[in-house]
Amino acid sequence: MNAKKPLAPRDNGAPDYKNYLHPAMERNYGRWKYHRGIRPGVFVHVSDSGESLYTVRAGSPRMLSAPLLRRVCDIADKFCQGRLRFTSRNNIEFQVEKEEDIQPLIDEIGRVLRFPVGGTGRSFHNIIHTQGWLHCNLPGTDAAGVVKSLMDLFYEEFTHENFPQRVKVSTSCCTINCGGQTDIAVNLQHHHPPAIDHVTINRCELPKVISICPVLAIRPDRTGGRDTVEVVEEKCMYCGACHAQCPALEIRDGDTDTLSIWVGGKSASTRGGPSFMRLATWGLPNNPPRWPEVGDAVRRILKAYQAGANEYERVGEWIGRIGWKNFFAETGFEFTKYHIDSYRWARTTFNTSAHVRL
Protein backbone atom coordinates (compact mmCIF):
# COMPACT_ATOMS: atom_id res chain seq x y z
CA MET A 1 0.00 0.00 0.00
CA ASN A 2 1.32 3.42 -0.92
CA ALA A 3 1.33 5.42 2.34
CA LYS A 4 1.44 8.70 0.41
CA LYS A 5 -1.57 7.99 -1.71
CA PRO A 6 -4.27 10.52 -0.71
CA LEU A 7 -7.48 9.07 0.59
CA ALA A 8 -10.60 9.49 -1.48
CA PRO A 9 -12.96 12.10 -0.07
CA ARG A 10 -15.58 10.63 2.23
CA ASP A 11 -18.93 10.55 0.54
CA ASN A 12 -20.95 8.71 3.17
CA GLY A 13 -21.56 8.76 6.90
CA ALA A 14 -22.12 11.80 9.09
CA PRO A 15 -20.08 14.84 8.02
CA ASP A 16 -17.74 16.50 10.51
CA TYR A 17 -19.97 18.79 12.56
CA LYS A 18 -17.15 21.27 13.05
CA ASN A 19 -17.57 22.36 9.43
CA TYR A 20 -21.06 23.58 10.28
CA LEU A 21 -20.56 25.43 13.56
CA HIS A 22 -21.47 29.07 13.79
CA PRO A 23 -18.16 31.01 13.35
CA ALA A 24 -18.36 32.40 16.90
CA MET A 25 -18.99 28.88 18.22
CA GLU A 26 -15.98 27.61 16.29
CA ARG A 27 -13.69 30.42 17.53
CA ASN A 28 -14.63 29.71 21.13
CA TYR A 29 -14.93 25.95 20.96
CA GLY A 30 -14.10 24.49 24.40
CA ARG A 31 -13.69 27.95 25.92
CA TRP A 32 -17.20 28.72 27.12
CA LYS A 33 -17.29 29.98 30.70
CA TYR A 34 -21.01 29.66 31.23
CA HIS A 35 -24.39 30.00 29.61
CA ARG A 36 -27.61 31.39 31.04
CA GLY A 37 -31.17 32.12 29.99
CA ILE A 38 -32.07 35.70 29.17
CA ARG A 39 -35.80 35.24 28.56
CA PRO A 40 -37.95 32.26 27.53
CA GLY A 41 -36.50 30.82 24.35
CA VAL A 42 -33.29 32.89 24.42
CA PHE A 43 -29.98 32.14 26.13
CA VAL A 44 -26.41 33.38 25.89
CA HIS A 45 -23.07 31.59 25.91
CA VAL A 46 -20.17 33.67 27.28
CA SER A 47 -16.60 32.73 26.41
CA ASP A 48 -13.42 33.45 28.36
CA SER A 49 -12.34 35.41 25.26
CA GLY A 50 -15.09 37.91 26.16
CA GLU A 51 -17.28 36.99 23.17
CA SER A 52 -20.97 36.22 23.60
CA LEU A 53 -23.22 34.13 21.37
CA TYR A 54 -27.01 34.45 21.68
CA THR A 55 -29.28 31.53 20.79
CA VAL A 56 -32.95 31.90 19.90
CA ARG A 57 -34.88 28.62 20.13
CA ALA A 58 -37.98 28.19 17.97
CA GLY A 59 -40.30 25.19 18.24
CA SER A 60 -40.74 23.35 14.95
CA PRO A 61 -43.38 20.70 14.19
CA ARG A 62 -40.57 18.31 13.08
CA MET A 63 -42.21 17.30 9.78
CA LEU A 64 -41.10 20.16 7.54
CA SER A 65 -41.81 20.72 3.86
CA ALA A 66 -39.03 21.77 1.49
CA PRO A 67 -40.53 25.28 0.96
CA LEU A 68 -40.73 25.81 4.71
CA LEU A 69 -37.14 24.61 5.15
CA ARG A 70 -36.05 27.12 2.50
CA ARG A 71 -37.67 29.90 4.52
CA VAL A 72 -35.84 28.65 7.63
CA CYS A 73 -32.56 28.77 5.69
CA ASP A 74 -33.31 32.29 4.41
CA ILE A 75 -33.60 33.49 8.01
CA ALA A 76 -30.34 31.75 8.91
CA ASP A 77 -28.66 33.46 5.92
CA LYS A 78 -30.03 36.84 6.91
CA PHE A 79 -29.25 36.77 10.65
CA CYS A 80 -26.94 33.87 11.49
CA GLN A 81 -24.19 33.78 8.82
CA GLY A 82 -25.90 30.81 7.20
CA ARG A 83 -25.81 28.53 10.25
CA LEU A 84 -28.57 26.93 12.33
CA ARG A 85 -29.00 23.97 14.63
CA PHE A 86 -31.74 21.35 15.04
CA THR A 87 -32.08 19.97 18.56
CA SER A 88 -33.17 16.43 19.42
CA ARG A 89 -36.54 17.91 20.50
CA ASN A 90 -37.16 19.31 17.01
CA ASN A 91 -36.38 22.89 17.95
CA ILE A 92 -34.55 25.11 15.49
CA GLU A 93 -31.86 27.25 17.10
CA PHE A 94 -30.73 30.47 15.45
CA GLN A 95 -27.53 32.07 16.78
CA VAL A 96 -26.50 35.73 16.62
CA GLU A 97 -23.48 37.59 17.99
CA LYS A 98 -25.19 40.90 18.75
CA GLU A 99 -27.83 41.30 21.42
CA GLU A 100 -29.63 43.92 19.32
CA ASP A 101 -30.27 41.29 16.61
CA ILE A 102 -32.36 39.12 18.95
CA GLN A 103 -35.69 40.95 18.69
CA PRO A 104 -35.59 41.44 14.88
CA LEU A 105 -34.76 37.73 14.58
CA ILE A 106 -37.69 36.73 16.83
CA ASP A 107 -39.99 39.02 14.83
CA GLU A 108 -38.86 37.43 11.57
CA ILE A 109 -39.35 33.89 12.95
CA GLY A 110 -42.89 34.82 13.99
CA ARG A 111 -43.73 36.62 10.75
CA VAL A 112 -42.21 34.20 8.23
CA LEU A 113 -42.35 30.81 9.94
CA ARG A 114 -45.08 31.38 12.55
CA PHE A 115 -43.04 29.28 14.99
CA PRO A 116 -43.21 30.13 18.72
CA VAL A 117 -39.99 30.99 20.55
CA GLY A 118 -39.58 29.17 23.86
CA GLY A 119 -38.90 25.70 25.18
CA THR A 120 -36.00 26.64 27.45
CA GLY A 121 -35.49 26.49 31.22
CA ARG A 122 -38.59 25.88 33.32
CA SER A 123 -41.00 25.69 30.41
CA PHE A 124 -42.93 22.87 28.78
CA HIS A 125 -40.24 21.82 26.29
CA ASN A 126 -40.98 20.79 22.73
CA ILE A 127 -42.09 17.14 22.71
CA ILE A 128 -39.68 14.47 21.54
CA HIS A 129 -41.66 11.98 19.54
CA THR A 130 -41.49 8.92 17.38
CA GLN A 131 -42.45 8.52 13.77
CA GLY A 132 -46.12 7.67 13.78
CA TRP A 133 -48.09 6.64 10.74
CA LEU A 134 -45.95 8.69 8.40
CA HIS A 135 -42.88 6.48 8.54
CA CYS A 136 -42.62 3.50 10.92
CA ASN A 137 -44.15 0.06 10.26
CA LEU A 138 -45.37 -0.51 13.86
CA PRO A 139 -47.49 2.42 15.00
CA GLY A 140 -50.81 1.85 16.69
CA THR A 141 -51.27 5.59 16.97
CA ASP A 142 -49.81 8.70 15.39
CA ALA A 143 -47.21 10.12 17.77
CA ALA A 144 -46.82 13.23 15.61
CA GLY A 145 -50.56 13.90 15.78
CA VAL A 146 -50.64 13.52 19.57
CA VAL A 147 -47.71 15.94 19.77
CA LYS A 148 -49.41 18.51 17.57
CA SER A 149 -52.53 18.35 19.74
CA LEU A 150 -50.55 18.66 22.98
CA MET A 151 -48.34 21.49 21.74
CA ASP A 152 -51.42 23.44 20.61
CA LEU A 153 -52.85 22.92 24.09
CA PHE A 154 -49.67 23.93 25.92
CA TYR A 155 -48.54 26.78 23.67
CA GLU A 156 -48.44 29.26 26.59
CA GLU A 157 -46.49 26.81 28.73
CA PHE A 158 -43.92 26.51 25.91
CA THR A 159 -43.42 30.27 25.56
CA HIS A 160 -43.28 30.96 29.33
CA GLU A 161 -41.12 29.53 32.12
CA ASN A 162 -43.68 29.02 34.89
CA PHE A 163 -42.94 25.51 36.17
CA PRO A 164 -40.78 24.57 39.17
CA GLN A 165 -38.31 22.95 36.77
CA ARG A 166 -38.14 21.98 33.09
CA VAL A 167 -40.89 19.63 31.85
CA LYS A 168 -39.82 17.20 29.15
CA VAL A 169 -42.42 15.12 27.38
CA SER A 170 -42.26 12.29 24.84
CA THR A 171 -44.79 10.34 22.84
CA SER A 172 -44.42 6.86 21.37
CA CYS A 173 -46.69 5.21 18.88
CA CYS A 174 -46.03 1.64 20.07
CA THR A 175 -45.22 -0.11 23.31
CA ILE A 176 -41.57 -0.47 22.34
CA ASN A 177 -41.35 3.24 23.11
CA CYS A 178 -38.55 4.77 21.12
CA GLY A 179 -39.66 8.12 22.63
CA GLY A 180 -37.44 7.79 25.66
CA GLN A 181 -37.51 8.41 29.40
CA THR A 182 -39.08 11.77 30.20
CA ASP A 183 -41.05 13.63 32.89
CA ILE A 184 -44.31 12.78 31.13
CA ALA A 185 -44.64 10.20 28.35
CA VAL A 186 -47.63 9.24 26.23
CA ASN A 187 -47.28 5.65 25.02
CA LEU A 188 -49.52 3.34 23.07
CA GLN A 189 -50.67 0.12 24.77
CA HIS A 190 -51.92 -3.11 23.22
CA HIS A 191 -54.32 -5.31 25.17
CA HIS A 192 -54.11 -8.77 23.64
CA PRO A 193 -51.55 -11.12 22.04
CA PRO A 194 -50.79 -10.79 18.33
CA ALA A 195 -53.09 -12.41 15.76
CA ILE A 196 -51.13 -14.75 13.53
CA ASP A 197 -51.57 -14.94 9.75
CA HIS A 198 -50.44 -18.52 9.09
CA VAL A 199 -50.32 -17.95 5.32
CA THR A 200 -48.10 -14.89 4.98
CA ILE A 201 -45.87 -15.85 7.92
CA ASN A 202 -43.77 -18.04 5.61
CA ARG A 203 -42.28 -14.85 4.15
CA CYS A 204 -40.52 -14.20 7.46
CA GLU A 205 -37.63 -15.98 9.08
CA LEU A 206 -39.30 -17.98 11.84
CA PRO A 207 -36.21 -18.47 14.04
CA LYS A 208 -35.83 -14.71 14.20
CA VAL A 209 -39.39 -13.97 15.25
CA ILE A 210 -39.22 -16.79 17.81
CA SER A 211 -36.05 -15.46 19.35
CA ILE A 212 -37.14 -11.84 19.47
CA CYS A 213 -39.86 -12.43 22.07
CA PRO A 214 -38.51 -11.18 25.41
CA VAL A 215 -40.62 -13.63 27.45
CA LEU A 216 -40.23 -16.68 25.17
CA ALA A 217 -43.95 -16.74 24.38
CA ILE A 218 -43.48 -17.72 20.71
CA ARG A 219 -42.69 -21.28 19.69
CA PRO A 220 -42.60 -23.22 16.41
CA ASP A 221 -45.77 -24.90 15.21
CA ARG A 222 -47.31 -26.50 12.12
CA THR A 223 -50.75 -25.48 10.85
CA GLY A 224 -52.38 -26.78 7.68
CA GLY A 225 -49.16 -28.49 6.66
CA ARG A 226 -47.19 -25.23 6.92
CA ASP A 227 -44.37 -24.19 9.23
CA THR A 228 -45.66 -21.42 11.45
CA VAL A 229 -45.58 -20.31 15.11
CA GLU A 230 -47.92 -20.22 18.08
CA VAL A 231 -48.09 -17.67 20.89
CA VAL A 232 -48.50 -18.81 24.49
CA GLU A 233 -51.10 -16.27 25.55
CA GLU A 234 -50.45 -16.57 29.31
CA LYS A 235 -46.85 -15.50 28.75
CA CYS A 236 -47.43 -12.72 26.22
CA MET A 237 -47.22 -9.19 27.61
CA TYR A 238 -48.50 -7.52 24.41
CA CYS A 239 -45.26 -5.64 23.73
CA GLY A 240 -45.44 -5.94 19.94
CA ALA A 241 -41.75 -6.73 19.44
CA CYS A 242 -42.73 -9.72 17.28
CA HIS A 243 -44.72 -7.50 14.92
CA ALA A 244 -41.56 -5.46 14.29
CA GLN A 245 -39.83 -8.66 13.20
CA CYS A 246 -42.71 -10.23 11.29
CA PRO A 247 -45.81 -8.38 10.05
CA ALA A 248 -47.75 -11.66 10.04
CA LEU A 249 -47.99 -11.35 13.83
CA GLU A 250 -50.41 -8.42 13.96
CA ILE A 251 -50.53 -6.79 17.38
CA ARG A 252 -52.30 -3.58 16.40
CA ASP A 253 -56.03 -3.35 16.93
CA GLY A 254 -58.01 -0.21 16.19
CA ASP A 255 -60.81 -1.35 18.50
CA THR A 256 -58.81 -2.11 21.64
CA ASP A 257 -55.50 -0.21 21.52
CA THR A 258 -55.37 2.62 24.03
CA LEU A 259 -52.91 5.23 25.26
CA SER A 260 -51.19 5.38 28.63
CA ILE A 261 -49.31 8.09 30.48
CA TRP A 262 -46.07 7.50 32.34
CA VAL A 263 -44.31 9.94 34.64
CA GLY A 264 -41.05 10.59 36.42
CA GLY A 265 -38.37 9.60 33.90
CA LYS A 266 -35.27 11.64 33.19
CA SER A 267 -31.86 11.17 31.62
CA ALA A 268 -29.98 13.90 33.47
CA SER A 269 -27.52 13.05 36.25
CA THR A 270 -28.61 16.07 38.28
CA ARG A 271 -29.73 15.56 41.89
CA GLY A 272 -31.14 12.01 42.13
CA GLY A 273 -29.62 10.77 38.85
CA PRO A 274 -31.40 9.28 35.83
CA SER A 275 -34.71 7.52 36.46
CA PHE A 276 -37.24 5.35 34.66
CA MET A 277 -40.83 6.44 34.09
CA ARG A 278 -43.72 4.74 35.88
CA LEU A 279 -47.33 4.22 34.95
CA ALA A 280 -49.67 7.07 35.91
CA THR A 281 -52.84 6.28 33.98
CA TRP A 282 -53.86 3.92 31.19
CA GLY A 283 -56.78 3.03 28.96
CA LEU A 284 -57.12 6.50 27.42
CA PRO A 285 -58.95 6.33 24.07
CA ASN A 286 -56.80 6.43 20.96
CA ASN A 287 -58.86 9.30 19.69
CA PRO A 288 -57.55 11.20 16.63
CA PRO A 289 -57.36 13.87 15.42
CA ARG A 290 -57.02 15.79 18.75
CA TRP A 291 -56.76 13.12 21.50
CA PRO A 292 -58.66 15.29 24.05
CA GLU A 293 -58.50 12.67 26.84
CA VAL A 294 -54.68 12.64 26.62
CA GLY A 295 -54.54 16.45 26.76
CA ASP A 296 -56.79 16.44 29.82
CA ALA A 297 -54.64 13.85 31.63
CA VAL A 298 -51.39 15.74 30.89
CA ARG A 299 -52.97 18.97 32.12
CA ARG A 300 -53.96 17.30 35.40
CA ILE A 301 -50.38 16.17 35.99
CA LEU A 302 -48.98 19.60 35.11
CA LYS A 303 -51.42 21.39 37.42
CA ALA A 304 -50.61 19.13 40.38
CA TYR A 305 -46.88 19.42 39.67
CA GLN A 306 -47.02 23.20 39.38
CA ALA A 307 -48.96 23.50 42.63
CA GLY A 308 -47.02 20.98 44.70
CA ALA A 309 -43.40 20.74 43.56
CA ASN A 310 -40.56 22.62 45.21
CA GLU A 311 -38.32 24.88 43.17
CA TYR A 312 -35.99 22.88 40.87
CA GLU A 313 -37.81 19.55 41.44
CA ARG A 314 -38.45 17.56 38.28
CA VAL A 315 -41.71 15.59 38.08
CA GLY A 316 -40.09 12.33 39.27
CA GLU A 317 -38.35 14.06 42.17
CA TRP A 318 -41.61 15.67 43.26
CA ILE A 319 -43.37 12.28 43.24
CA GLY A 320 -40.43 10.70 45.07
CA ARG A 321 -40.84 13.28 47.84
CA ILE A 322 -44.65 13.22 48.23
CA GLY A 323 -45.18 9.51 47.42
CA TRP A 324 -47.44 7.84 44.86
CA LYS A 325 -50.43 7.91 47.22
CA ASN A 326 -50.41 11.71 47.18
CA PHE A 327 -49.65 11.82 43.45
CA PHE A 328 -52.78 9.78 42.74
CA ALA A 329 -54.83 11.85 45.19
CA GLU A 330 -53.73 15.14 43.62
CA THR A 331 -54.11 14.13 39.99
CA GLY A 332 -57.33 12.17 40.55
CA PHE A 333 -56.07 9.12 38.65
CA GLU A 334 -57.08 5.71 39.92
CA PHE A 335 -54.45 3.44 41.50
CA THR A 336 -55.16 0.04 39.94
CA LYS A 337 -53.74 -3.44 40.24
CA TYR A 338 -51.53 -2.68 37.25
CA HIS A 339 -49.63 0.03 39.11
CA ILE A 340 -46.47 -0.51 41.12
CA ASP A 341 -45.87 1.71 44.14
CA SER A 342 -42.14 2.26 44.51
CA TYR A 343 -42.46 4.84 47.29
CA ARG A 344 -40.00 3.83 50.03
CA TRP A 345 -42.54 4.11 52.89
CA ALA A 346 -45.35 2.26 51.11
CA ARG A 347 -44.15 -1.33 51.36
CA THR A 348 -47.12 -2.72 53.26
CA THR A 349 -49.87 -0.75 51.62
CA PHE A 350 -49.59 -0.97 47.86
CA ASN A 351 -48.35 -3.13 45.02
CA THR A 352 -44.62 -2.91 45.38
CA SER A 353 -43.45 -5.25 42.63
CA ALA A 354 -44.68 -7.03 39.53
CA HIS A 355 -45.13 -10.19 41.66
CA VAL A 356 -47.42 -8.68 44.30
CA ARG A 357 -50.95 -7.84 43.22
CA LEU A 358 -53.49 -6.63 45.78
Which residues contact ligand SF4 (rule: CB under 6 A)? 130-131, 136, 138-139, 143, 172-174, 176-178, 193-194, 213, 215, 217-218, 231, 236-242, 251
User: 237 vs 329, which CB is nearer to ligand SF4?
Assistant: 237
In contact, 115 and 153? CB cutoff 8 Å? no
User: 90 vs 165, which CB is nearer to ligand SF4?
Assistant: 90
> How far apart are alpha carbons 291 and 289 in whole angstroms?
6
User: 247 vs 308, which CB is nearer to ligand SF4?
Assistant: 247
The DSSP line for 63-102 is ---HHHHHHHHHHHHHHSTT--EE-TTSEEEEEES-GGGH
User: 76 vs 144, which CB is nearer to ligand SF4?
Assistant: 144
Please state, in angstroms and as integers, the Cα–Cα distance from residue 215 to each residue in 211, 233, 242, 278, following that order.
9, 11, 11, 20
User: 96 vs 206, which CB is nearer to ligand SF4?
Assistant: 206
Least distance to ligand SF4, CB of residue 234, Å: 11
Least distance to ligand SF4, CB of residue 291, Å: 15
Least distance to ligand SF4, CB of residue 5, Å: 43
Burial zone of 91 (CB within 10 Å; 0-12 exposed, 13-18 middle, 19+ buried) = buried
Least distance to ligand SF4, CB of residue 129, Å: 8
User: 58 vs 261, which CB is nearer to ligand SF4?
Assistant: 261
Least distance to ligand SF4, CB of residue 188, Å: 7
SS (H, E, C) 227-270: EEEEECCCCCCCCCHHHHHCCCEECCCCCCCEEEEEECCECCCC
In this structure, the dihedral spanned by the alpha carbons of residues 65, 68, 69 and 73, taken in order and rounded to 10 degrees, is 170
Least distance to ligand SF4, CB of residue 1, Å: 43
